[in-house]
Structures are given as structure tokens and as C-alpha cells.
Structure 1
Amino acid sequence: MRCSLPFSRVTDDTRLRVGLIGTGYIGTFVGGQFDRHRDATVSAITEIDEERRERTAESFSVPEDTLYDDYREMLDDAALDAILIGTPHTLHYEQVLAGLDHGLHVFCDKPLATDLEHATEITERFEDSDRTLMVGYQRHLNPSFIAARDRFAESPPRWITAEITQNWLPRFVDAWRTDPDLSGGGMLYDTGSHLLDAVLWTSGLDPVRVSSKMTFVDDAERVDSEATVLIEFANGATANVTVSGDLPCVREHVHLWDDDGAVSLDGRQWEPRQVTEIDDENTESIPYIDHDNQTTKAEAFITAIENGSEPPATARDALAVTAVTEAAYESARADGDWVDVDLD
């Protein structure tokens, strides 16, 4: 259930008032999008690191009396309409629901949750509310992936391969991303989460079971540096998704095939992805993709709130990613046994 919530485009005091929870990359990057948007303002900040909190506050002109080291205090005290959650993965569940309990709209970085029951609870509660929840899966805003999704809207792919490499492990060996109590896992729950989402959202297919192999870097088998995930879909299609966080650089390749040909999405680092179309006669073409007018995450979030519409990346989209991810970890720890994906 949703209702539109228009904001004035004239005066600052009626703009969407956003509170930041966490001022790492997501908090400052997406927070900057809100700060620059004519219909929004960053009104409060929660950050446990005092120096970083003050630096971000100065950057966004946030007054000292709305700076906090505990998000619960911010939610109780600050006048807000929405929150941006850019904290480690395992903290999302409590923070998202706290935002809803305070009647706020929520933008949450991926993944939505690292526990399937938590992701289900969040999804059901927001779908029963009039608040907007958007998850930070940026490929839903990427023109290349949007074009591929449109291409397969009437003829779903039946064979998919997707891979991404990154120097993830050496970069984050001493960071929270390799601490499973904060990250929920390893490479698959971090950069790999975007790739799984890209496969599920672009194909529009319903996953039913998963088989996985992983290379774990800890004795408890919680933190993976590499993962290969085979997904079977309800229509019989399959996807082979491979992530490696122990290679020198970022390369991404996604290939989706149906009976009429294929679409390939390829790129390096975090540059825009190139789309190549292949027809059933093996003729390749590169369609024009306009990346200059790509909608920002903040813009998409604000538009969804104003129009009472679904955001580009919904809680249900994120729930599917968590379900597949959790099944993949379970399978890997069981020597690749097939594990059903529970989306009920």
C-alpha cells in the first residue's frame, strides 16, 4: 500500500529531510546526491567515528545539534522524513525496521538483510505500509541493464552466464567486509550481491534451486573469496554465476541467451557497461545507450515517494537475492548439494 507524498519545490523547510546512518562510501556518495537535490536535504547524521562525522557534517552543512553516534537517538530526536542506511550488512535489519517504526521512508544499501527470515519480515512489513523502501542495487538504474531487461520481457532467457572479478580480498582483508559478523559472508554477499541481482532482475526469472562451490578463507567457512553458483529457474532455464575477489581488477561479463539470440553486457572497473546484441544468424550489433542522463539513486527514491510508486529496486527484489545467496552458502557447505530457494 502506498500513497503519494509530494514535496514543495520552493522552500528548504518542506524538502525531504534525510538522516544518514553511516558515512562510508554509500553514506557520502548517495548522501551527496540528496544534498545536491532540489527536493531534499541532509538534516542529520549518525556516525560512530567523530572525525568522519564532523567532516561529513561540514560537507553537507548539517548543524552540530543533529549529529549523533547512535542512530536510535537520531530517530527519536531529529525531524526526518527518510533515512539512508550505509552501514555494514548485518546491521541493516534492525536499522531498516527502526526507520519504519518511526514512520520514515528508507533507502538501504545492499544487501537488504543477510538472513532470509529478516529479509522476508522487512518485505512484508513495508508492503503492508505506505512507506517507501528502496535498495541500492544500481543496475536497476543502469541504461545497459534496463535495455537488456526490456529485450527479454516477452522472451525470457534460457541460458545465462555471469562473472565478476575484483581485488576484493587484498583490499578488505582487515576491514568489516571480511568480518562475517558484520558482512554476513564474503565476496558473494558483497560485490557478488550486485551480480546476483543483475541476473535475477534482468532475466525476470524465478529461481527454484541452487548448487554452489566456494573457496573460503576462514576455518568456519563463513567468508568466501570465490564462488560459483548454478541457479535453476522455474521455466527450466539455468544461470552460472561466478565471482572472484582475489584477482587484480574488476571485469564484469553477463550473457543472456534465448532462441532469438543473446545480449552481452561487458565492462571494466565501474565504467558504464557496453551492450552487444547477437541475433539468431550470429550477427553482432552495438545499440546506442545513453548513459549521460542516468537517474541517480536519490532521484529515483525521491520520485517514488512523490509519486507513490514502486522504486526501481524493491524489497521483494532484494528478498530474492538474499534467498539465492543464503541457499548458495548452504549448498557450498554441503559440498555442492542442491538447495531449494525459499521465496514463500
Structure 2
Amino acid sequence: MKYRILFIVLMNLLITKVYNQENKAPLKVGVIGLTHTHVHWIFGSEPRGDIKIVGIVEPNTELAKRYAEQHKFSMKLVYTSIEEMLNKAKPEAVTAFGTIYEHLEVVEAAAPRGIHVMVEKPLAVNMEHAKKMKELAKKHNIHLLTNYETTWYPTTHKAYDLVKKENAIGSIRKIMVHDGHKGPKKIGVNEEFLEWLTDPVQNGGGAEVDFGCYGVNMLTWFMNGKLPNSVTAVSQQLQPENNPKVNDESIIILQYDNTVAVIQGSWNWPIGRKDMEIYGLRGVLYVDNRHDLRVRISEGYDGYDEEVMKLEERAAPFDDPFALFAAVVRNEVQLENYDLNALDNNMIVVEILDAAKKSAEQNKTIYFKK
């Protein structure tokens, strides 16, 4: 009898848990801006049920109509100003899909109301903006997250575990990160996105910002939030006809005590890529893409034993930016220090990017004060 009672109790607890999960109200989210085409991501994510889009800010009515037709939302959701949307839609959180320069404006509007914010990478156009955003987030006790595509790659996290938790290849000596594509115009981004993505003020720079930030974000995570000793960068404009205002080629070298990192963010790759190589004392990891990872352990001079991995997607909510955003806001997940999404990591990202731009402009190495 007692086992039957225990079984019934456990089943009731399980049913209650499933019921609560299935009936948990989604996080009410406002989408601010539609000019960043990563915004398709949030519309694709909404059907999961973690979030509900309650308002959209986009003054460009024609652009809003195009998205409304594609994603089947009502134009009644669309507002022309942030203040109007916040007042009428009353979101719990907002996501920023406008220019990088506009991220500060979003935080200035949302933070005093206690509304949490997620921005697309990078956090800010420069440290001046980043510091103001951090102050507002801390003062008003809101979460301020930054979203990168590579954060959701299962290979990114497997590589971290292999290196940091399992010591699979020995101490890190070199990391090489490659990100980018043929260039915004060549890959056919829409006019509204192209206009600001190739603007040094609205984007904060060119390829060194757009794609260099990925590598800096991951390096900061791997190095436990430690600043490099120095930053040396080279940037160049190889497509003046397509990117007349910004550089489209970038190499950023970060020097740590026992590790060197080479980050290549480019709008000149003939084939789009987001991959990474991590070299340790005993071997190397090749993070080829979202799902494919290779581990090579050294044997002799140039021999190696290789393990090839094909990884599945991570478990919810760690497989989707907006599911995780909802979980963080609801205190179901607490981000670790220098997590890829976390504010402390992304403050360092902006600091390093500022130093990289300065290094390239002045043709010299920039040293950080310890």
C-alpha cells in the first residue's frame, strides 16, 4: 500500500510539474527595430512558447509591412516610437534589432521602467556607450544580455568543456577564430540593414566590429574574463566599391601571459564561415561549424589520433537566445561569470574592440594597464 501511495504522490508531482511547464505564461517581449535582419530569429522562436511578442517598434512602415506579411503578425502590434510601445504594450523585456548605436537608447528607455534588455552583438559601439548601459542596468536592477549566433552552437560549448573541464588537449597555447562572409552587399542583405551595417557611426566600425566581436567574446569566456596584455590589429578596405565608409578586413591579435589569439573577422571570405581552432600542449580542437568538431591528439612529429564528433542541439533553454532570455528574467537560470551572454563578458568585448580599432588606426600595439 505504501508503495502505491508513494507512486501516486510521485505521479502527481510529475503531472503538476508538466502542467506548470505547459501552462507557464510566456515572457512578454517587445521588439525594438526591424532593420537588423537577425530579427527573423525572434519571430521564428516565438512559436516555442517561451516568449510572446506584445509590441514592435519600427518607424519605417513599409519595412514593418514586409515583416508582417512574412511572419503573419498584425500591424496593430507596430508602434512608431519606443515610448509609445512601452506605455501601451507593457512588455516585461525587450530585444534590440536596430543599429548598434541605438542600443544605448533602448537601455535608456527600458531600464528605468525595470524592463530587461537583450541586444544583438556587440553590446555597444564604444566604451562610452557601454559604460552608460552598464550603469543603467545596475542602477535599475535589470538583466542586459548580448546575443551571438555562435553562443548557440553545441560545438562552442563542447570545445569549452573539453578544454576547461576535461583538459583534453592540455593547456591552451593558441586560439584562432575565423568569422565572416563575402560582405553585406555581396550576400544581398536588404537595403535597410546595409545602410547602417556599413556606417562607422551606426555600426561602430566595419568587419572588425561585425565579425571580430565573435572571437573576442569567446576568448573572454575561455580566459575567465581576463584582459589580454596587449592588442595588435590590422584592418583594411578591400572592397571600396561596396564598403566605402568602413574597413572590411580585420586581424586582431590578443596576447595573454601564456596564450596568443588570432581573430580574423572579414567581409572577404569567399565562403561564409564561423569556425575556430584551439591548440593545446597535447593536441588541437577543430570547431568546424555548429555541429562538427574534431579532436586531434599528437603522436610523434606530425602524426595524430583523431576523434570526430557530430553534436546534437543543446537542451532547452540553452538552444535558443529568447528561451534563455526568458529563463534568466524568470530566475530559472543564473548566468555564470563571463558567460557568453553576460554583461561582464561583453563589457570586455567592447573594451578590446576599442583597443583594436585604435591599434589599427595608429599602427601600434595597445597595452592594457594591469
What range is the shorter-chain TM-score in? 0.7 to 0.9
Aligned residue type for 1:157: I
1:74-117 per-residue CA deviation (whole Å, 9 max, x = no partner) reads 22332111111011111111212321122111111111101113
| 1:303 corresponding residue in structure 2 | 327
The equivalences for 1:15-94 within 5 A come to: 15-23=26-34, 24-33=36-45, 35-57=46-68, 59=71, 61-62=73-74, 64=76, 66-94=77-105
Partner of residue 208 from structure 1, selected from 229, 253, 257 = 229
RMSD over aligned CA atoms reads 2.8
Unaligned 5+ residue runs, structure 2? 1-19
| 1:3 corresponding residue in structure 2 | none
The equivalences for 1:4-23 within 5 A come to: 14-23=25-34
Contact kept in structure 2, 1:196 and 1:241, CA below 8 Å: yes
Aligned residue type for 2:345: D
Largest Rg, 1 or 2: 2
Task: Give me the whole-angstrom Cα distance separating, in 1, the residues matched to 2:296 and 2:83.
Answer: 52
Task: Give me the whole-angstrom Cα distance separating, in 2, the residues matched to 1:253 and 1:315.
Answer: 24
Aligned residue type for 2:207: M
| 2:365 corresponding residue in structure 1 | 338
1:18-43 per-residue CA deviation (whole Å, 9 max, x = no partner) reads 1111124222322331x213242111
SS at match of 1:75: helix
Task: Give me the whole-angstrom Cα distance separating, in 1, the residues matched to 2:72 and 2:362.
Answer: 48
| 2:115 corresponding residue in structure 1 | 104
| 1:158 corresponding residue in structure 2 | 173
Task: Give me the whole-angstrom Cα distance separating, in 1, the residues matched to 2:72 and 2:92.
Answer: 17
How many residue pairs are counted as aligned between the two chains? 326
The equivalences for 1:175-186 within 5 A come to: 175-186=195-206
| Superposed displacement of residue 329, structure 1 | 0.4
Contact kept in structure 2, 1:323 and 1:341, CA below 8 Å: no
TM-score, structure 1 normalization: 0.84
Task: Give me the whole-angstrom Cα distance separating, in 1, the residues matched to 2:157 and 2:204.
Answer: 29
Aligned residue type for 1:213: V
SS at match of 2:98: coil
Q: Percent identity?
A: 22
Cα distance change on mapping 1:63 and 1:17 into 2, 3 Å: farther
Task: Give me the whole-angstrom Cα distance separating, in 2, the residues matched to 1:82 and 1:257.
Answer: 40
| 2:311 corresponding residue in structure 1 | 289
1:301-325 per-residue CA deviation (whole Å, 9 max, x = no partner) reads 1111222533451111211211111
Aligned residue type for 2:203: S
Task: Give me the whole-angstrom Cα distance separating, in 1, the residues matched to 2:73 and 2:185.
Answer: 35
Aligned residue type for 2:199: D
Aligned residue type for 2:295: E
Cα distance change on mapping 1:152 and 1:128 into 2, 3 Å: farther
The equivalences for 1:249-268 within 5 A come to: 249-267=271-289
Unaligned 5+ residue runs, structure 1? 1-7
Partner of residue 320 from structure 1, selected from 348, 359, 362 = 348
116-125 vs 55-64, which deviates more?
Answer: 55-64
Cα distance change on mapping 1:132 and 1:62 into 2, 3 Å: farther
Contact kept in structure 2, 1:111 and 1:322, CA below 8 Å: yes
Task: Give me the whole-angstrom Cα distance separating, in 2, the residues matched to 1:260 and 1:201.
Answer: 21
SS at match of 2:294: strand
